[in-house]
Structure 1
Amino acid sequence: MAYCPKCGIRVERDNRPCPLCSFPIPKVNEDGEEVVRVRKFPKTTNPYPSYMRRVLNRIFIFITLLVFVAVSLMAYIDYELNEMFTWSRYSNLSVLAGWGFIFFTFGYVKNYYKVLIGIGLDMLILLFGLDLFNGSLDWFIPLAFPIVTGTTVVAILYWSVVRALSVRGFNVIGFFFIAAVILIMWINFFIQNYQNKTDPLNWLIVTVLQLLPVLLIMLYVKYGMPERIKQKIARKFHL
């Protein structure tokens, strides 16, 4: 039997509240000990990522619907005016390629390497289609394909080196400038080759001359810049 803590009358086990004074009688187990209910603290989860994910999903759905309407409308207008698809091929392909770029940059693909490869393939499809619509592949194979492929490869290598070497701080910027110079020279090589103006020796000299200032700046930042200035810049740009 149990007793009411307020008025003291005897009550049945788990008879809550007290039939006399309506006082809430605590639950007791078989041994007569009061069962204490432990209130758990709420989980300390950060709601911001899930909130941003919902916002991005809504934006992406809106953009997808807008792209569908725009592509359908341009194709319809083009066909009604010309009884065939002419200018709408270029515009629709560009719009769809932009949609693909948004898809890869909105976080639906988690792997960084897959994102880079996906964006590279998206650009290749766009440029291939634009060149093909002209009736022949004049500039895609000698110019667009190596440039886009080289850009994708340099981006993948840059990310791999940064991760493998655990590059931090100013070194990230230094490696980025080196990758940018290499990419610029890669693009310059194929542009000159496309224009039949390639001079390998001249191209090599120009490459070295462009890399040299970057290397000198990196050496100065690494060994010559005062530590106090480094810390200020690092705090300013969160390096």
Structure 2
Amino acid sequence: MEYCKNCEVELDNDMAFCPLCGLRVGEEPIPVNIPIEKHPDFRDKTINEIENLSRTQKLKLIWKISGIILTSGIIVTLGINFIISQNINWAKYNLIASLVAFANISIVILFRKKPLILIICSLTSLILMFLTIDYFNGDSNWGIKLGIPIVTSIYVLSLVILVLIRISNQIGFNILAVVFIAIASLLLCIEIFVSLYSHQIIILKWSLIAGASLIPVSGILFYVHYKLKKGIELKRFFHI
């Protein structure tokens, strides 16, 4: 049994050419100059170098790459805005958003093992972003009346879920039920803040419908969790 000297495909005895690359049996392959960056050994070496990095080194690499990308985006958008308008107007929003994004990436890397500090620092950065946007817009107060309350609700509910996970003796369907309740609460908060911002009064419609759909599901999940905690198997519980 022979093998192709180019692609190492197994060849039958009656074959004159390789069925894969077309090289004549017994013929030597023509050497091809492959750029080093495209060579398989080079790619494998690069991948291995990344895989051999420690977790801290990988996070530091992500932090550096994120900083380079966001800085490049800031410079490009500021340059385009100035060239087109001879002024900096819309690009300043990209500037503040990019800075907050980089701040949050840094916060996650630094405080990934301290969720409470992470949430507080991240929320603070977003509040500062909304206040800056309000400052750029003049007297609109969109961030104070709408952006900050909604974002704060998201972070508070996330913190509640984390606390419940920490203090829960058994994690299962109960956490999923809490998540559904948190989503229903968030939708209710969003409609309250939007209606206050738009109409100066609280008008509840779609959030009540969503809550009416999610709360019963949460109740079922709590019940299933309670039954499973008592040792009842799923097959017997669902009569399978």
Q: Does 1:227 align with 2:225?
A: no
The change in CA–CA distance for 1:209 and 1:74 in structure 2 (over 3 A counts) is: closer
Cα distance in structure 2, aligned partners of 1:159 and 1:52: 24
The offset of 1:72, in angstroms, is 2.8
The change in CA–CA distance for 1:72 and 1:198 in structure 2 (over 3 A counts) is: same
Q: 2:173 aligns with which of 170, 175, 179?
A: 170
The change in CA–CA distance for 1:97 and 1:64 in structure 2 (over 3 A counts) is: same
Q: Does 1:116 align with 2:119?
A: yes
In structure 2, what is the equivalent of residue 198 of structure 1?
Answer: 202
Q: Does 1:181 align with 2:187?
A: no
Larger Rg: 1
Cα distance in structure 2, aligned partners of 1:172 and 1:215: 9
Cα distance in structure 2, aligned partners of 1:181 and 1:215: 10
In structure 2, what is the equivalent of residue 156 of structure 1?
Answer: 159
Q: Is the 8 A contact 1:178 1:214 kept in 2?
A: no
Per-residue CA deviations over 1:53-86 (Å, capped at 9, x if unaligned) read 2122112112212322332333244334433311
Equivalent residue pairs, number: 183
Specify every segment of 5 or more residues in structure 1 that has no aligned partner in the other structure, as ranges: 1-47, 231-239
Amino acid aligned to 2:191: N
The change in CA–CA distance for 1:80 and 1:215 in structure 2 (over 3 A counts) is: closer
Specify every segment of 5 or more residues in structure 2 that has no aligned partner in the other structure, as ranges: 1-50
In structure 2, what is the equivalent of residue 209 of structure 1?
Answer: 212
Partner SS for 1:166: coil
Q: Percent identity, aligned pairs only?
A: 23
In structure 2, what is the equivalent of residue 20 of structure 1?
Answer: none
Q: Is the 8 A contact 1:143 1:194 kept in 2?
A: yes
The offset of 1:219, in angstroms, is 4.0
Q: Is the 8 A contact 2:145 2:197 kept in 1?
A: yes
In structure 2, what is the equivalent of residue 32 of structure 1?
Answer: none
In structure 2, what is the equivalent of residue 99 of structure 1?
Answer: 102
Cα distance in structure 2, aligned partners of 1:91 and 1:51: 33
Q: 1:79-90, aligned counterparts within 5 Å?
A: 79-90=82-93
The change in CA–CA distance for 1:204 and 1:169 in structure 2 (over 3 A counts) is: closer
Please tell me the root mean square deviation across aligned C-alpha atoms, in Å.
3.2
In structure 2, what is the equivalent of residue 136 of structure 1?
Answer: 139
Cα distance in structure 2, aligned partners of 1:111 and 1:210: 34
Q: Does 1:67 align with 2:70?
A: yes
Q: Is the 8 A contact 2:195 2:202 kept in 1?
A: yes
Per-residue CA deviations over 1:135-174 (Å, capped at 9, x if unaligned) read 2233222211211112221211221122123341222211
Cα distance in structure 1, aligned partners of 2:52 and 2:165: 25
In structure 2, what is the equivalent of residue 145 of structure 1?
Answer: 148
Cα distance in structure 2, aligned partners of 1:151 and 1:195: 20
Q: 2:55 aligns with which of 38, 52, 63?
A: 52
Cα distance in structure 1, aligned partners of 2:67 and 2:86: 27
Cα distance in structure 2, aligned partners of 1:152 and 1:198: 22
Q: Is the 8 A contact 1:147 1:187 kept in 2?
A: yes
Cα distance in structure 1, aligned partners of 2:97 and 2:219: 41
Cα distance in structure 1, aligned partners of 2:197 and 2:235: 45
The change in CA–CA distance for 1:203 and 1:189 in structure 2 (over 3 A counts) is: farther
The offset of 1:89, in angstroms, is 0.3
Cα distance in structure 1, aligned partners of 2:57 and 2:164: 33
Q: TM-score, normalised to structure 1's length?
A: 0.63
